[in-house]
Structure 1
Amino acid sequence: MNREKVPRWFLDLSDEEVDFVKYFLLSSGSIKELAGTYSTSYPTIRKRIDKLIQKIQISDRKDNDTVVKLINQLEEEGKIDQEIAKTVVLEYSRSLNSLIVE
Structure 2
Amino acid sequence: MRDENIPSWLLELEPEDYEFMHRFILTSGSLKKMAKEYGVSYPTIRLRLDRLIQRVSVKSKKEGYISLIKDLALEDEISFEAAKKLIAAYRKERKEVEP
- TM-score, normalised on structure 1? 0.69
Preserved contact between residue 62 and residue 93 of structure 1 (Cα < 8 Å):
no
| Aligned counterpart, 2:18 | 18
Using the size of structure 2 for normalisation, the TM-score is 0.71
Q: Retained in 1: the 8 A contact 2:9–2:63?
A: no
Higher fraction of helix: 2
Q: What amino acid maps onto 2:61 in structure 1?
A: R
- Paired AA for residue 27 in structure 1: T
Q: CA deviation at 1:3?
A: 1.5
> Following superposition of structure 1 onto structure 2, how do residues 20-35 of structure 1 map, counting pairs within 5 Å?
20-35=20-35
**In 1, distance between residues paired with 2:69 and 2:93?**
14
Residues 79-90 of structure 1 correspond to what in structure 2 (within 5 A)?
85=88, 89-90=91-92
In structure 2, give the amino acid aligned to 1:92: R
Q: Would you say how many aligned residue pairs link Structure 1 and Structure 2?
A: 90
- Structure 1 residues not aligned, in runs of 5+: none
Work out whether residues 32 and 42 of structure 1, in 8 Å CA contact, stay in contact via their aligned partners in 2: yes
Could you tell me which residue of structure 1 aligns to residue 40 of structure 2? 40
Rounded Cα–Cα distance in structure 1 between residues aligned with 2:33 and 2:96: 33
Instruction: Calculate the aligned-residue CA RMSD, in Å.
Output: 3.1
Q: Which runs of 5+ in 2 are unaligned?
A: 74-79
Q: Residue 65 of structure 1: CA displacement?
A: 2.5
Please show how residues 47-62 of structure 1 align to structure 2 within 5 Å: 47-62=47-62
In 2, Cα distance between equivalents of 1:16 and 1:25:
14
Q: Percent identity?
A: 36
**Structure 2 residue 83 is the aligned partner of structure 1 residue 92:** no
Report 1 or 2 for greater relative contact order, CA contacts < 8 Å, sequence distance ≥ 6.
Answer: 1
Residue 2 (structure 1) shift: 1.6
